[in-house]
Amino acid sequence: MKTHRKELWFDLPTRRGFVNITSDVEKALKASGVQEGLCLVNAMHITASVFINDNESGLHQDFERWLEKLAPEKPYSQYAHNGAEDNADAHLKRTIMGREVVVAISGGQLDLGPWEAIFYGEFDGRRRKRVLIKIIGE
């Protein structure tokens, strides 16, 4: 069995944002040489997500608005976690949007549905953060 490990680094200039990382994951898959297997992609930080959805800007605005209704950033004082930090909302948003995705590898390709794309979701940016890609298979 082959294994391949790759880290992607991010430093978003804004507190929140979504980045399409599908092509980065495809590059890692090509480098792995795996034809049949599984690809795990996970955020290594507790205020960031990896998720799969549509690459459509209106939907991304809808995610932002929906997450702000569920866990508004401000006022910071509404959260018990805030004090030394101001990122309680980011922890909550990350939990809803998920830590990781697992994608099947078939014929050397990511076996995604027609409208599926892989995204990094940042909820407490302006700092360096990592995503882990782990590929296993034959």
Q: Which structure tokens are listed for 48?
A: 């960031």
Residue 95 to residue 102: CA distance in whole angstroms: 17
- DSSP letters for 110-137: E---TT-EEEEEESS-SS-EEEEEEEEE
Tell me whether residue 57 or residue 74 sits nearer to Zn ion (CB atom).
74
Instruction: Between 21 and 48, name the residue whose CB sits nearer to Zn ion.
Output: 48
Considering only residues 72 to 101 of the shown chain, the ones binding Zn ion according to CB under 5 A are 85, 87
Binding to Zn ion in span 116-135, by CB under 5 A: none
**Minimum gap (Å) between residue 85 Cβ and Zn ion:** 4
CB of 14 to Zn ion, least distance (A): 18
Q: Measured from the CB of residue 87, what is the shortest distance to Zn ion in angstroms?
A: 4
The C-alpha atoms of residue 138 and residue 131 are separated, in whole angstroms, by: 23
Alpha-carbon distance 52 to 40, whole Å?
12
We find the least distance from the C-beta atom of residue 90 to Zn ion, in angstroms, to be 7
Smallest distance, Å, CB 72 to Zn ion? 16
Q: Which is nearer to Zn ion, 6 or 81 (CB)?
A: 81
Q: Side chain identity at 47, as an amino acid letter?
A: T
Closest to Zn ion by CB, 4 or 94: 94
Answer whether 124's CB lies under 8 Å from 48's CB.
yes
Residue 107 one-letter amino acid: G
Q: Which is nearer to Zn ion, 74 or 113 (CB)?
A: 74
Q: Which residues bind Zn ion (CB under 5 A)?
A: 85, 87
